[in-house]
Structure 1
């Protein structure tokens, strides 16, 4: 899996210089779309939480509900069932819009449904598993040895 340009070993640059549009597009598509993982950028921590609290108070918006099922959701599901029995599908839709049901049964990232896991991109799967490939160490002395070997081969 390719995250940064250094993992392509200069192939992206060579494809650009030799006007190989198909290869350049392919290598570019392999790179991760997450800007914060790029080697060139360091995103600062933003203080969005304070602004979000002010907006919630200003517009009287309820805080976001957790995605996982809680104890109070059993009563909520009973209300949805009563709404379906009494008013039909239209009443159930209205009730779910006003009081949305939980999206997941568990509050655990590792317990995703198979359908959801299969629809994730490779980069999203890697982020969920928290596996980041190691960057190879650069040895300037090793480069000097390689240049000496190449110079010795040309002299022979």
Structure 2
């Protein structure tokens, strides 16, 4: 038996069971379907076809590929170009150059590295979680707990 993922693999049996009020068959067919929403029939499209159409559309519109957020070797020339645009045309020319060729957002491609301003604004709990350190737990002494309970019981009795 093959795995049933989409409704179209049942050849209308799910619909017929629903229309003829066959609850047991409908429940069985429904249980065969995958619970993942992205694999249902509405969202199922062949991957190769969509990628080819998307690439063709990007080429037709002349859209550049998305750049990485970190600084690359070619960004030094880009920064010099932006600096020259600021000197020659002012802020409006710099904005135009920035819109046409976006500068890098970060210097490094390390997702766990945070800027100093961001790190300083984090709470101590967030910093500890990011550093993945756990505080030392004190040793548990059951006899000490018994003594504390005895003292509390003596205070309540008096």
TM normalised by structure 2 equals: 0.42
**Bigger radius of gyration among the two:** 2
Greater relative contact order, per chain length (Cα 8 Å cut-off, separation 6+): 1
Q: TM-score, normalised by structure 1?
A: 0.43
